[in-house]
Amino acid sequence: MAFPESFLQELKLRNDLTEVASSYLTLKRHGRNLVALCPFHGEKTPSFNIYTENNSFYCFGCGVGGDIITFIMKIENLDYVDAVKFLAQRAGMDMPEDSYDDSMSKLRNRVFEANREAARYYYKSLYSPEGKEGLDYFHSRMLSDRTIRHFGLGFAYGDWSSLCDYLEQKGFSHNELVAANLAVRQKSGKGIYDRFRNRVMFPIIDLRGNVIAFGGRIMTDEKPKYLNTSDTPVFKKSENLFSLNNAKNSGSRTLILCEGYMDVIAVNQAGFQNAVATLGTALTREQAMLMKRYADEVIICYDSDEAGQKATSRAIPILRGAGLLVRVLTVPGSKDPDEFIKSKGADGPAAFQALIQKSGNDVEYRLQKLRGGFNLDTPDGKVRFLEEAAGIIAGIYSPIERDVYISRLCKEFEIGKDAFVRQVNSVNRRQNRENSKKEIRRIQNDLSGRGDKLDTERSKKPRSSSAEEALVAYLINNPDAADYIDSHIAADQFQNELMRRYYTYFLNRIRDGMEPLNNLNSDFSDDERSRVYKILAKYGTVAGTRQSLDEYLGIIAEESKKLSKKDISNMTAEEIQAYLNGQRQ
């Protein structure tokens, strides 16, 4: 069941979207609306709009839209019920009793509890006689007991079911343990066994202090070396970072992005609390956007081997796309940060700090890497290098930063600045043309409906679909016009199935005396809900004129009389002639 209408209405009144969003975003006034850089995708120009008239938002860049509940779901990575609980707690409201389906919320809570108990079990196991192998491993990596305790590191026994047996005694069911990915079902389906066995364990903790997942490292040469929790009701590896819970409290707006758990822990133990790592996957856009919430700058500190360099090259545009400044720390001697710090002994922290201070930004890193591909002792090598370098510099957003690199390269290679600027501008114009073409294609596809997987009929019937969209927006914004609209048009006159569904839904809610947008989260999918807010953003959130309404109604009525190809193919010649005569009148 959905939440009571009165409860949702009061919840939204007590949680102003502008006020809530301002704690996450930097908002600027733009006419009636507020705009910001979207927290859900990387961008340089604000396309995230908050509409104060109806307490909603829509991003024209990524197409995400909704109300205050949707915003909290997205930005806090919560399901619907937990987002409502979050807002209710913020507003000092009591949750209604037994009026909604909170089965998923209850499962999430049980997964959190199971993970917490598992973390405690793994930690105790590490300091048991059977866990000596794991403890020796951590000590051999020069981790102190204080660091082990701080990160809650642990050990998973080598038998098949010790954790499952322990958690079952604590009252957890097989389904809950499988949902948490702490256990795996036997092929026979009759039982379960531990997912992690004979591994040192790294708990992954979210920003609220919940244990959401685990990483486990084998201490032999077996593969895989690392085993990570798969996606669960409380965890998506592409949307979380290891040790961000520590880094966010470091007092720094700079994050050190490491390659793995041990690097983060070693860097942290050396005094750098602002280190994080991805979770067994390449850096994702979602992780970059998460970092943007807590940092202005990211120092990439991957291993200096070939794989680390490739990962660095992939990460740079993702981090830049999220609006982050990027620097690259190069660890000398083909070492990872953990090895480097330990190799320096007591001087490790100071040596690592020196590397941070010497780290260049991502442009310098890419230019330095580019140099290795050309023989700069020859004229041809210099020309080819400078042509490639012009492409890197053309991609720099800041004109001041761009000029600095142009001047530096011109001085180094003793070339005229005007010539190199022309080369950079030529590349820049080509890039702008390509970007403009992409944007034009995107706008054309958006206007025509081509490639629209949600509304496949829009491209086939653009005139009627546009009028139907506008009518839906008018109805939502002007519920007092529902009777007038209903008396002039019927749902079966809609040519677009999705718009017909919206129209029927909102008309029925208004007839029943309910606020039109109150329960979208319960009644529509994420894409369907976002499409409603896209329509509202497109046609404005203020009331249209009655003349506009009559135009929408007229187009819908006119288009509904037109026959489809299928209808015409089934008609006789006389019927087709009669239809054409009617169309000419």
- Asked whether residue 341 is domain-assigned, the answer is yes
**Does the residue 251 lie in any domain?**
yes
- Position 35 scores a pLDDT of 96
DSSP 128: S
Q: Smallest Cα–Cα separation from 386: which of 370, 401, 399?
A: 370
When pLDDT is cut at 50, 70 and 90, the band that residue 396 belongs to is confident
**Whether 208 and 316 share a structural domain:** no
Q: Which of 91, 117, 150 is the last residue of a domain?
A: 91
The answer to whether residue 453 sits within a structural domain is no
- CB neighbourhood size of 417 (10 A): 13
Are both 360 and 387 inside the same structural domain? no
The verdict on 111 and 193 lying in the same domain is yes
| Residue at token pair 């506008």 | 470
**379 and 363 in a common domain:** no
Confidence check: pLDDT of 264 > 70:
yes
pLDDT over 90 percentage in the chain: 71
Q: Are 57 and 48 within 8 A, CB to CB?
A: yes
Q: Within a domain: residue 518?
A: yes
Measure the CA–CA gap between 299 and 254, rounded to whole angstroms. Answer: 7
**48 and 112 both lie in a single domain:** no
Q: Which sign does the torsion angle of CA 256, 259, 260, 263 carry? A: negative
Same structural domain, 550 and 523: yes
- Position 215 in a domain: yes
Residue 77: the pLDDT is 85
Secondary element (H or E) of residue 307: helix 306-321
Burial 448-470 (b: 16+ CB within 10 A, else e): ebeebeebebbeebeebbbbbbb
Does 282 lie in the same domain as 206?
A: no
pLDDT digits (tens, 9 = 90+) for 153-167: 999 999 999 999 999
Distance CA 535, CA 466 (A): 10
- CA dihedral over 468, 471, 473, 475, signed as positive or negative: negative
- Output 568 or 354, whichever has higher pLDDT: 354
For residue 221, the model assigns a pLDDT of: 82
- Give domain status of residue 152, yes or no: yes
Same-domain status, 116 and 215 = yes
Q: Is the pLDDT of residue 102 over 70?
A: yes
Cα radius of gyration (the chain): 29
| Residue 329 belongs to a domain | yes
**What CA–CA distance (Å, rounded) separates 283 from 312?**
9
CATH number at 343 reads 3.40.1360.10
* Chain segment 168-192, per-residue pLDDT in tens: 999 999 999 999 999 999 988 789 9
* Residue 489: pLDDT over 90: yes
Q: Which residue has the tokens 């590397």?
A: 355
Helix ranges, 15-152 (H): 17-21, 68-76, 80-91, 103-126, 132-140, 145-151
- Cα dihedral 33, 291, 390, 412 in deg (nearest 10): 130
Q: Is residue 19 part of a domain?
A: yes
Structural domain that includes position 113: 104-235
> What phi and psi, each to the nearest 5 degrees, are found at residue 164?
-60, -45
Taking the C-alpha atoms of residue 105 and residue 112, their distance in angstroms, rounded to an integer, is: 11
- The domain boundary residue, chosen from 235, 259, 282: 235
Q: How far apart are CA 543 and CA 564, in angstroms?
A: 33
- The CATH number of residue 551's host domain is 1.10.860.10
Whole-number Å distance between alpha carbons of 182 and 402: 50
pLDDT digit string, tens, across residues 427-462? 989 988 887 787 677 666 665 556 677 888 888 888
- Residues 57, 159: one domain? no
Residue 573 neighbours by CB under 8 Å, 6+ apart? none
- Same domain for 190 and 168, yes or no, is yes
Mean pLDDT, residues 263-285: 94
CATH number of the domain enclosing 34: 3.90.580.10
Per the CB < 8 A criterion, the answer to whether 229 and 220 are in contact is: no
Whole-Å CA distances, 431 to 362, 398, 444: 19, 16, 20
485: Cα separation from own chain's centroid: 39
User: Do residue 122 and residue 177 come from a single domain?
Assistant: yes
108 and 226 both lie in a single domain: yes
Q: Please, which pLDDT band fits residue 585 given cuts at 50, 70 and 90?
A: very low
Q: What is the mean pLDDT of residues 137-149?
A: 96
What's the structural domain count of the chain?
A: 5
For the ranges 136-140, 206-210, 428-432, the maximum mean pLDDT occurs at 136-140
Q: Which of 33, 65, 91 is the last residue of a domain?
A: 91
Contact in structure between 80 and 73 (CB atoms under 8 Å):
yes
As a whole number, the mean pLDDT across the chain is 90
